[in-house]
Amino acid sequence: MSKVTVFKHESLTTRKKDRFPATQSGILRVKKGALNIRTEDNTSLVLSAGEFIVYHSDDLKEVQSQALYESFLAEIIILEPSVFQAFCNQIPKPNQVINTENVAEKVFVFGTSHTIATTILDLLISAKEAESSDHTVEALAHALLAEIIHISPTTQTIFRKAFDQTTAQKVIRFIELNIDNEVSLEATSQFLGMSTATLKRRLAAEDLSFSQLLKVKRVNYAATKLRLTNKSIAEIAFESGFKSAAHFSTAFKGVQGMTPKEFRQQVASSRAK
């Protein structure tokens, strides 16, 4: 499984957050048009074509694309936490920024004037599109991160935040990555390198349970399929990991406050307006 994922979007807007969202970090670049961004501390900025930022999803409050001459394109490069961690472990101690208490939490905007960073970012995206080896892609990701902190050393605070995750966040990420497959407590605990008893105890310390997280993430996954496909409710129930349509309907209503049928009707109604 690749640790670097590239998405391209012709529009971006803030959607209502799911319960238990998975945190993610990476690069957000505008290729065409402009993007309005408001952070959790209410800092506002506009990214123009050619500009990019390093982001952590918890820090972004609102995003809204602006089409210039009816054209907008953004690239989101998501890096797995292990990419950031492996990179930070290699930073020489004199260059490390660990204590963030006295560091201004300001988003640094990179642009076309940062030629090396932009070139490496282009190479990284090209390598992904050409299906280069994971080793090549990760090496380019590390090179990009190195150039980024050369330009803006305090951006390390975002890097470190990316892999400083709670147990629940790690579980959520694992579930989302494997939502198409059978996800069990045993497989998850093995992936995280701990016993099932330890995993249960750590989730309980956050007032959560594995079954609760799995149910909500499966319902959210099903909601996306209900919104974007014409598949039958029974088919979506099976694909989302529920053993029957009745079980799916009960779980869905418990999370979304309505049945799958009512949810799909609501989506159709909002599109018709």
- In this structure, are 199 and 149 located in the same domain? no
Task: Give me the mean pLDDT over the 43-58 stretch.
Answer: 92
Q: Is the pLDDT of residue 228 over 80?
A: yes
Measured CA to CA, the distance from residue 176 to residue 70 in angstroms comes to 33
Segment of 111-120, 205-214, 237-246 carrying the highest mean pLDDT: 111-120
Give the number of other CB atoms < 10 A from CB of residue 224: 12
Angle at 230 between CA 226 and CA 236, to 5 degrees: 50
Q: Is the pLDDT of residue 195 over 80?
A: yes
- In this structure, are 258 and 228 located in the same domain? yes
Count of structural domains, the chain: 2
How far from chain centre, in Å, is Cα 222?
Answer: 18
- In this structure, are 57 and 157 located in the same domain? yes
- Structural domain boundaries, residue 48: 4-164
Which residue is associated with the tokens 């190195």? 146
Q: What is the pLDDT of residue 16?
A: 56
Task: Give me the mean pLDDT over the 185-195 stretch.
Answer: 90
- Tens of pLDDT, residue by residue over 20-31, are 666 789 999 999
160 closest CA partner among 109, 101, 52, 85: 85
169 closest CA partner among 266, 1, 25: 25
Measured CA to CA, the distance from residue 153 to residue 201 in angstroms comes to 37
The domain spanning residue 88 has which CATH number? Answer: 2.60.120.810
Paired tokens of 156: 């390390």
Measured CA to CA, the distance from residue 249 to residue 36 in angstroms comes to 38
- In this structure, are 136 and 61 located in the same domain? yes
Which residue is associated with the tokens 């932009």? 118
- In this structure, are 39 and 109 located in the same domain? yes
Which of 9-18, 204-213, 229-238 shows the lowest per-residue confidence on average (mean pLDDT)? 9-18
Q: Is the pLDDT of residue 217 over 80?
A: yes
Task: Give burial (CB, 10 Å; 0-12/13-18/19+) of 227.
Answer: middle
Would you place residue 110 in the very low, low, confident or very high pLDDT band (cuts 50, 70, 90)?
very high
Paired tokens of 84: 């950031």
Q: Is the pLDDT of residue 102 over 50?
A: no
Q: What percent of the chain has pLDDT over 70?
A: 89
The domain spanning residue 194 has which CATH number? Answer: 1.10.10.60
- In this structure, are 54 and 138 located in the same domain? yes
Measured CA to CA, the distance from residue 155 to residue 104 in angstroms comes to 10
- In this structure, are 28 and 107 located in the same domain? yes
Would you place residue 143 in the very low, low, confident or very high pLDDT band (cuts 50, 70, 90)?
very high
- In this structure, are 15 and 147 located in the same domain? yes
CB within 8 A of 160, min separation 6: which ones? 84, 88, 98, 100
**Entry pTM:** 0.70
- Asked which of 136, 164, 192 is the last residue of a domain, the reply is 164
